Amino acid sequence: MGYRVGIVGATGAVGQELLRVLERRRFPVAELRLFASARSAGRRLGFAGEELVVEPLSAAALRGLELVLSSAGAEVARAVAPAAAAAGALVVDNSSAFRMEPAVPLVVPEINPEAARAHRGILANPNCTTIIALMAVAPLHREAALERMVVASYQAASGAGARALAELQAQLAAAVAGEPLPPPVVLPHPLAHNVIPQVDVFLEDGYTREEHKIARETRKILGLPELRVSATCVRVPVPRAHSVALHLEFREPLLPERARAILAGAPGVELVDEPQAGRYPMPRSASGCDLVQVGRIRADASHPRGLVLWAVGDQLLKGAALNAVQIAELVLALEPEPA
C-alpha cells in the first residue's frame, strides 16, 4: 500500500529535506524515485535504510508517478510539471512558477486547506518567508480582520542555496583568522559581519522581487486582494531559519493577551513569549523545528488597533519541504489510497 512518489531536485537542500520529512512522517511510499539535473544524476541518496540512485530529469521520466514533489526552480517546473499532472500525477511545486496562477491553489494547510480542493493536478507551495509570516498572522486575522501588514524579514544564508551558505562560512573563517574575506560570488556583498538589504533582484518601484512575492502571496492565501502589505527583505549572516518582524493593523481591537492565547492554540505554532526571562524566538532554537515560533507580542504604540510580533521558522522545513508534504497529505486524504 502506498504511492509512487518522485522528488524533482532531490540533490538540493529542499530535496534532501523532503526525503527526511517523508521518512519521519511515515508517508505511505510504495516506490520512490529521485530526479535531478544530468550533472547530479548517478548520485546515491538514503531513504528508509536504502540507497536510491538519482535519475536524470525529463518529463517522460515522471510518467507513472502518482505524486511529484518538485523543488528545482521555476524554469524546470514549467517544463515538467504540466506534463506530469496531465499524466495523472499530483504535483506539489516549491518554485514560484505557478503560485500566482489563478487556477493553481497556493496552500498552507493550517491556514487555507479548503483552497486545495480546487486543484487541477498542480498545487503551489508559497514562498518560505510568506509561510513563516502567515503562520503567525492568519490566526490573528481570523479573530480581528487584518487591514495592513508591514514586515521586515531577516533571511538566513541557506535561503539563497548551499553555495551561499558555503560562501558565508568561508568568509567567517577568514575573518576569524584575520585574513581578507574571499570575494562574494553568490550574494551581492560579503555577508560575514554584515547584513544585506537585498533578497532577489530590484524592480522598478524600488522593491525587490522577494518583497513583491510576500505581498502578492499573502493576499492570495488570506483571500484579501486589497490588503495593504509592505515588505523589506534582508539577508543576515545566519546559517538556517528565517526571522520576521511583523507590524499588524486590524479592523477590530486585539489585545496582546488575547493574541497570545490565540497563538498558543494555533496549529503549527509554538508560543515563545517570555522576554523578561530571555525567551523569544531565535534561529538557533527554530532550526530543525517543524513549528514556527512566535513571541515579542506587544501593542503597537503608534496605532490603536495594532500589534507587533516576531516570528522565526526553519525555511527548509515549514518554509518548504514540510509544507509540501503536508499539502500532499491534505489532498491525498481526500482520495482513496491506491492498492
Residue 41 Rama label (left phi>0; alpha psi -120 to 50; beta): beta
Considering Cα of 258, then 264, then 269, then 270, what sign does the dihedral take?
positive
Rounded to whole angstroms, the Cα distance separating 221 from 106 reads: 6
Grid cell, residue 168, equals 558565508
Bridge partners of 54, per DSSP, are: 34
**Known catalytic membership, residue 233:** no
Contact residues for 179 (Cβ-Cβ < 8 A; gap 6+): none
Among 323, 298, 322, CA closest to 310 = 298
**Known catalytic membership, residue 289:** no
Given 119, 141, 212, 242, the catalytic residue: 242
Among 84, 138, 80, 143, CA closest to 108 = 138
Grid cell, residue 207, equals 522593491
155 C-beta neighbours (distance < 10 Å), count: 25
DSSP string, 184-252: PSSSSS--TT--BS-SS-B-TTS-BHHHHHHHHHHHHHHT-TT-EEEEEEEE-S-SS-EEEEEEEEESS
Bridge partners of 154, per DSSP, are: 234, 243
Among 116, 115, 122, 55, CA closest to 82 = 122
Q: What is the CA radius of gyration of the chain?
A: 20
Given 119, 128, 141, 233, the catalytic residue: 128
Hey, which residues are catalytic here?
128, 242
